[in-house]
Structure 1
C-alpha cells in the first residue's frame, strides 16, 4: 500500500504542481509509540503568482518572518502553524529556496495508526469526520508545532508514494476560508480526489 519515501527533488517544483502531485500519496508521522499514515485526498497551493497576480492568500505574501521562515526554505521542509489558537495545520514547502511556496494538506484518508487517531480525536468510532480537515488531521496524527521545519526526507515526518499507482480523477476549485485575500480567494488552487468521502466540507 505505502511505497518509498519521496526523494528531495520531488519537492523542487512550484506549489501548484506539488499540490496535484501529493494527491494519492501518503503523509506519514512516526512517533515513539505509533506510526501514523494518511492518504492525501485534498490540498491547497500557496505562494507564487496566478495570471501575474501575487498570492495575497499566502502567509509569505508579506515576506519572510519568524513564523513564515519555513516557507522560504528549499522544498522538502514542513511548515506547521496554529490557527484560531487551537488547531495546527501542516504544509509541505515547495520550490527553490526563497520562493515562499507551500502546499496545505487539507484532508487525508486514515491508513495506519487509526486506533491512536481515534484516541487523539476523542472519537468513539472511525468516520470521515476523523481527518476531513487540516486541523482534524493534525490532531489525529499528533502533528504539532514540534513538527515545524522538519526535513521531510528524514524519518519522523515524510511523504511516501503509493506502492502501486492508480489513475485519479482530480478536481479543482478556489481555495476556501481565505476571505481575507482580495485576489487570492479566487485562485483555483484547491485540488481534491473526486468522490473521496474524506474531502473536507466547504
Structure 2
C-alpha cells in the first residue's frame, strides 16, 4: 500500500543513521515517521509525526545546555532514545534523541495525525473538540498515546521489543515549513520548528511573553 499522510504503508524499522546528524536534520527526518504504541490488549495504536522541534546542547533553549543531569541523561544516549519529560508540571512530552552518543540533542515530537487506534486515542483525549485537536501539541500527543515517565523515558524507540516504537513506512512530505520554536524564552527566533506543510494538525505558534524581540 502506498502511504499517505493519513494512511500507513508497509512498516519498517526507522534507520538510526537518519537521526545521527544534527538535531535540526533529525527533526526534519522525523516528519512523516510513524510512532506506534503497543496497547494492553496486544493491539497497536499508530500516529504519523507532522511537527517537530530541534534542541541541542549548544542551544540555550535546550534542557541539555547545562550538561548531562539525571533528568537529561537520555538526550546524551544513542540516536532513537526516548527522552520524556513533564512540561509545566502537567503534560508529558516525547523527544527522540539525535546526534552521536555523548551529545545532548533531541527532537521534540509536537504533533501527529492518527493512523490506527482512533477510538482508543479519542477516549484518552475527551477534551479534544475535533480530530484536528486530538494530537495537536506535544502534551496532547502523549496523553492520547499514554506515553509518560518513567515508563518510557530512556527506552530505545528503534527496538522491535519496545512498547513505543519509531517506524518508517516510506512516506515523505511533499513540502516542509520551518519557523521559530513555540514558547521558548531563549533563542526564541531560531527556526528549528519543522512541519509537514499539508497537515492541518500542526500546532499554533505562541511566542514566550518574556522572549526578547528580534533585533
Give TM-score scaled by structure 2 length: 0.84
Question: What runs of 5+ residues in structure 2 fail to find an aligned partner?
Answer: 1-7, 206-215
Deviation, 1:165, is: 3.5
Question: What runs of 5+ residues in structure 1 fail to find an aligned partner?
Answer: 49-53
Matched, 1:20 2:28: yes
1:148 aligns with 153
**What pairs with 1:5-84 in structure 2 (closer than 5 Å)?**
5-33=13-41, 34-48=43-57, 54-84=58-88
- CA 1:131 to 1:167, structure 2 compared with 1: closer, same or farther past 3 Å? closer
2:201 aligns with 198
Indicate the RMSD between aligned Cα atoms, in angstroms: 1.6
2:210 aligns with none
Aligned residues: 193
8 A contact 2:78–2:100 mirrored in 1: yes
C-alpha distance in 1, partners of 2:173/2:81? 27
Deviation, 1:167, is: 4.6
Deviation, 1:166, is: 4.4
Structure possessing the higher relative contact order (Cα contacts under 8 Å, 6 or more residues apart): 1
Structure with the higher fraction of residues in helix conformation: 1
Secondary structure, aligned partner of 1:185: coil
C-alpha distance in 1, partners of 2:81/2:154? 6
Matched, 1:165 2:168: no
C-alpha distance in 2, partners of 1:78/1:127? 26
In the alignment, which of 166, 172, 188 is matched to residue 191 of structure 2?
188
Give TM-score scaled by structure 1 length: 0.90
